[in-house]
Amino acid sequence: MSSQQIDWDQRLIEKYNYAGPRYTSYPTALEFSENFGEADFQHAVQRYPDRPLSLYVHIPFCHRLCYFCGCNKIVTRQLHKADRYLDVLEQEIRQRAPLFAGRCVTQLHWGGGTPTFLNQQQVSRLVALLRDHFTIADDVEMSIEVDPREIEPEMIDHLRAEGFNRLSMGVQDFNKAVQERVNRVQDEETIFALVQRAREQGFRSVSLDLIYGLPLQTPESFAFTLQRVIALNPDRLSVFNYAHMPTLFAAQRKIKDDELPGAAQKLQILQETIATLTGEGYQFIGMDHFARPDDELAVAQRAGELHRNFQGYTTQGETDLLGLGVSAISMLGDSYAQNHKELKAYYADVEQRGNALWRGLTLSDDDGLRRDVIKALICNFALDFAAIEAQYPIEFERYFAEDLALLSPLVADGLVQQRGRSLHVTGVGRLLIRNICMCFDVYMRQKVRMQQFSRVI
C-alpha cells in the first residue's frame, strides 16, 4: 500500500464513529492530578538532562470571539493586557529557565489564543526574553499561529526578522455566509497576500487550518474552499472536525444546531476533502493532517520516524517540551505538567512562587510502554512487537493479551492486519486510527468516559 492511500468504507466509518481521545498524550490530560507538585516537576527535568528542548508559549488573547472555538482564550481589544501578561510570563521564564541551563532549544512554538495579538514591540520583547534566558539553536524551528484578520503585512516581515520560519494561519472556510455564522469574517485577498508575503520573506513552511462541520457548510461549499486553498499551495493543511459541545463552550451556544451539517454530510465533506487533497499530491499524515510529500512530516512518516506531542505531529520526538504561560502543558522525561488554566490563578501563582504549576502526572512503566505503542500506531500506522520488546522487558503477546483480544474485531473488519509479529493499519483503518489506539488504552477500559471526547470523524 502506498504511504498515503486511504480507503473509504462508509459502513465501517459509521460503525466506528464514536467518541475518543486525540492522543496528543498518553495517558490523556483527564488523568492529570493536582497531587503532582514542584518536586515532581524538578525531578522530571533531571530525568533526561541531555535532551534538546522544545518551548511552547501560550498567548491567550484574541481580538474577537470565534463561536466555534474551544481553546483557552481571553477576548479583549486592550493591548495593555498583553503587557501585563508579558510581565508575569517574564517572571515564569526567569524562574524556569535556569532548570534547563546547558540545554539547546531546537523548537519554539507560539500558540493561543492569537499570538499575533501582540504588537511588533511586544513580539520583540518576548523573543528577546527567550533568547536571553535559553540557549537557542541557530537552526531552531520557530513557528507561530496567525489570525489573518488582525495582522498588518509588515508583521509578517517583523516575525521573519525575529527568527520565525514557520507559520500556521486559521482560514476555517472561504465562504462568507459560513464565516458570518461563526463570527470570523475574513478577506480572501488578504489571506492570499499574507501567504505570498510569507513566501517572499523566506518562511520555510506555511500551514493552513480548515474546519469542517460548521453551520451552512455543504459538500459543494467546502469544495469551493478547498479549491481556494489549493490555489494557495500550503506546505501543510489541518482539516479539523468541528465538535459541537455548547454545554462545555459558551460561545458555541451562538451557533444554531439546525444550521449544522448532518452526520452524513460531514462524512461526505471529509471523504471529498481527502480525495481532493491526495489527488493534488498531499500525503495524509493522519488524524486531520496533510502535508506535501517533500515536507518534513511526510518524509519522517515514510521513514517511520514521526512523533506526536501536545502540538500534534512533529519530527522532533527526542526532545523535552516546556510549556510557558497560562494553561501550557509540558512533557518532561516521563512526566506531564500543566500550568493553571485561569488567568487570575496563573498571575497569582507566578507572582507568589515563580511558577503556575497546577497539575500533572508521572508515568508508570505501563504508561510509558502503552504511550510508545500508541505513538507507533498513530504516527506510523504500524507496530513491530520485537521493537517494543527491545525497549521493555515484556513478551508482547502475553503482556497485551487483553488488548489484542479487543483489537480482534477491528482486525476482522479489516481496519488493521496482523502479519507475524507486527500490526499494519490498512487504508480504511487510517481514518479510524483513534479506535485502534483505544484498544491499548487501559484508562478508557477502566472508566468509559466517552462523553468527554469528540467523535473520531
User: How many helices, marked H, and strands, marked E, lie in the chain?
Assistant: 17, 19
Question: Does the pLDDT of residue 451 top 60, yes or no?
Answer: no
> Which of these, 219, 215, 194, lies nearest to 258 by C-alpha position?
215
N-terminal to C-terminal alpha carbon distance within the chain: 23
Would you state the pLDDT for residue 3?
A: 47
- Given a cut of 70, whether residue 457 has pLDDT beyond it is no
* pTM of the model as a whole: 0.92
Residue 190 is predicted with a pLDDT of: 94
Q: How far apart are CA 198 and CA 191, in angstroms?
A: 11
Tell me: pLDDT of 116 over 60. Answer: yes
Q: Which of 369, 387, 375, 380 lies closest to 442 in space, CA to CA?
A: 369
Q: Tell which wins on pLDDT, 454 or 387.
A: 387
pLDDT in tens, 320-359: 999 999 999 999 989 999 999 999 999 999 999 999 999 9
**What's the grid cell of residue 159?**
516575525
Higher pLDDT residue, 453 or 25?
25
Residues linked to residue 336 through DSSP beta bridges, in sequence order = 331, 361
Average pLDDT over residues 364-385: 94
pLDDT band at 1, cuts 50/70/90?
Answer: very low
Q: What rounded mean pLDDT belongs to the chain? A: 92
pLDDT, position 456: 60
Buried/exposed code over 169-194 (b: 16+ C-beta within 10 A; e: otherwise): bbbbbbbeebbebbebebeeeebeeb
Q: What is the DSSP letter of 254?
A: G
487504508: which residue's cell?
427
3-class SS of residue 448: coil
Beta strands in 287-386 (DSSP E): 289-291, 307-309, 312-314, 320-324, 329-332, 335-339, 357-362, 382-384
Predicted local distance difference test score (pLDDT) of residue 454:
59
- Reduced to 3 states (helix: H, G, I; strand: E, B; else coil), residue 58 is strand
Q: In this predicted model, which residue has the larger pLDDT, 94 or 73?
A: 94
Which of 314, 321, 307 is CA-nearest to residue 51? Answer: 321
What does the pLDDT look like over 39-63, one tens digit per residue?
A: 999 999 999 999 999 999 999 999 9
Alpha-carbon span 440 to 406, nearest angstrom = 8
Band (pLDDT 50/70/90 cuts) for residue 453 is: low
Does residue 443 carry a pLDDT above 60? yes
Q: Which residues, including other chains, have CB under 8 Å from residue 282's CB and lie 6 or more apart?
A: 4, 237, 290, 291, 292, 293
Burial class (CB in 10 A: 0-12, 13-18, 19+), 93: buried
User: Which pLDDT score is estimated for 344?
Assistant: 97
Is cis: bond before 153, omega within 30 of 0?
Answer: no
pLDDT surpassing 50 at residue 177: yes
* Average pLDDT value for residue range 392-402: 97
| Number of neighbours of residue 409 by Cβ within 10 angstroms | 12
Three-state secondary-structure class, residue 239: strand
Q: What pLDDT was estimated at residue 214? A: 97
